[in-house]
Amino acid sequence: MAQFRLLCSIAAILGYTYASPIEKRRNFFKLHAEIPEELQQMRLRNPDRVEEITKYGMPQRDVVLKFKDFELSYDNRTRVANYVVEHLDCKRHKFHYIPPPIMEDNDSFSRDHRVQYASIPFDYFQSGFVKCHLAEKRNHSDSMDYLKGTYASTNIAPQNSELNCRGWSDLEFYARRMLWHYNDIYIFTGPLYCSKQNQMKYQVIGMNNVAVPTHFFKVIVGVLDCSLDLIVGCYIMPNEPIPDHVPLGYYRASWSDVQEKSGLTFLTGSDRPYNEDLPDIVEFRDTKRFFECFVQQPATKGPGWKLKE
């Protein structure tokens, strides 16, 4: 029995002696597996690392450009604006149907050097499309400085020539005509690139690959001093010839449809209620013809107009 106890004691001593170094090695790594001081300082200084990630800036494509009488957001990828914002007030524009001076295309349209990628007049040469002023030149023709801004390349988009001189021209006149009913009019205009048969296709023109929109939108917001509600009318027109006899109401679109197709959210700076009750004036084309025939004076070229590229 005494011998058995002696053997157990010897085994216990040998086991402890052998296991001790292993445990020490385990504890060694546990004690010394610390986070480096540099990482600790970085964690304390910038826990979410956002500032470090954006240290050299974020890529930018869209640019907001301010002109003297309107504002726009420009897309460097398509070489066309995302949207243009205009404000017409009753006192200034109600009876303002004076045509702008006649400009020479090669001299009047200018490259906007505030953006890196822009179209030039030659991009439109023999393209089958005309230069559409998204901020309509007649809305800004009471000042030569205002008018020059509408000829900047960032305000221009390729548009079907028949649409430009007929249906789209009617819609632009119609927006001004709303000043007979409202104190202020806010106009949002821009291109759309709509898919067809589950495919997105659009043409590009010129050496700068200027994107040709498949459609154009115009959102007209009427403001009355005596009413809290904003009155809205939205329109979408295809970039193709449209018949003269088709009423503008045919191209009326819902507020949500324009926002979905454009990816834009309008009136973000206002908490006023709105409704889509902008009136459809059927006889407005007669009014337009009246002003074109009897009110407009012969246009003249403005002095000192030529712009350099």
Locus of tokens 């454009």 = 262
Distance CA 284, CA 173 (A): 8
- 237 forms bridges with which residues in the sheet? 216
**Torsion angle of alpha carbons 107, 83, 174, 195, nearest 10°?**
110
Q: Is 297 helix (H, G, I), strand (E, B) or coil?
A: coil
Give the contacts of 307 (CB within 8 A, at least 6 positions apart).
Answer: 107, 108, 109, 110, 148, 151
* Residue from 93, 133, 140, 215 carrying the catalytic annotation: 133
Instruction: Name the DSSP letter for residue 179.
Output: G
Give the contacts of 159 (CB within 8 A, at least 6 positions apart).
Answer: 129, 130, 131, 132, 168, 213, 216, 239
164 a known binding residue? Answer: yes
Distance CA 276, CA 222 (A): 10
Phi, psi (degrees; rounded to nearest 5) at 9: -65, -45
Distance CA 261, CA 274 (A): 20
Residue 133 a catalytic site member: yes
Distance CA 83, CA 134 (A): 8
Distance CA 230, CA 152 (A): 31
- Binding-site residue ranges: 164
- Binding-site residue ranges for Mg(2+): 164
Catalytic residues: 133
